[in-house]
Structure formats: structure tokens, C-alpha cells
Chains A and B, each alone.
Chain A
């Protein structure tokens, strides 16, 4: 039996516990490049990043979105993703540690199914927002 989150106990405005992940080191950037097939050298070759006018390697936006996805999955347990969107609003640099926060903004029933909508933000250790987004989860 899968762990369950009780839909009845979730309320709009409920905050998800904050979780920190990282630091995102070079090894992880290389691992993500090969796992995703995104081999843009910006993410693991400092010299190339500097040529592009950036001070060092930056994380793939999709790596950060994926980490947000894990953050939501860990909270929503058996919940099934119906929609997941992220805006890349700032760069995540190599060796940044990200903190993830979220909030239930809507809870509703549709065609007999239970849904929650969650808003999420990722921030670096120095409080720069790197992504904002939301997800709709069927419970």
C-alpha cells in the first residue's frame, strides 16, 4: 500500500515544509547533462561559460525544475501530477544550495476526483529566487 496524504486534512493556504537540497556540485551538473542529454557546455565547462559572459557554470533550468518536482512528489506521496509549470527567473550557480517552499493555493473536486494546486519557489542560500511555478496534483 502506498503512503497516503489525506485530502480532507489539506486546506488552502497550507504551507509545505521547507526543504534544502544541494550544494549542486560539478559532479551533479555532469550527471544531469548525461541523464537528460542536455550537453550545453555552459553547465560544466567554466571556460565556455566565461566566453558566454557568465562568471561560472550554471545549473540546467530543467535540473532545478526536476528538483522542484522531487520536492512536490515527496510531499504529495501517492498524488499524480496533472500539470507542472516552472518559470526560470534567475540563474542557479554551481555550488548553490537551494531551498524549496510551497503552499496549497487551491483544493477542488472535478468529475469525482480530488485535486490540489500548489505554488512553489526555489531560492538560493543568498535568497535569490531561481524558479517560481505551480503544480496540479490528483490525490
Chain B
């Protein structure tokens, strides 16, 4: 699980072009949207594509995303349970 969290931080920084950010600056429980990392709606779509491409997870209900993408911790837990790659 620890490895997935680190991997997710690296992927998020790279794929969402968070150039001025390092993995050390993202805490596992930081909110990804709003006050935390400040991600926006387009970033949310990128995260959905990332789940599909890198972990074989297709989100059938976009509303699910709200809970899954709360933080690195919630994402890692979901991937551990549902990941196919």
C-alpha cells in the first residue's frame, strides 16, 4: 500500500503537470481538490483515465470519484481493492 501511495504521488505530479510540487509535499491525507492540491474538474477526468490506463479500473458511476479521489490514501485503498493490473 505504501508503494502505491508513492507511485500515485509520482503519477499525479507527472500527469497533472504539478511542476512546482514534490512527492514529499503531498501528505497521504491531503485533500486532492479544493484547499489541498487545488486540482480542478479537468484533473478529475485525468485521474479517471489514469485509473483505467494504469490500474484497469473503469469507474461506472462518476459520482464514485468524489469519494475515491478524496486523498492519496482513499485512492490507494480503492486501487488495492479493485485494481486489475
- Indicate whether A and B interact: no
Which A residues have a C-beta under 8 Å from some C-beta of B? none
Which B residues have a C-beta under 8 Å from some C-beta of A? none
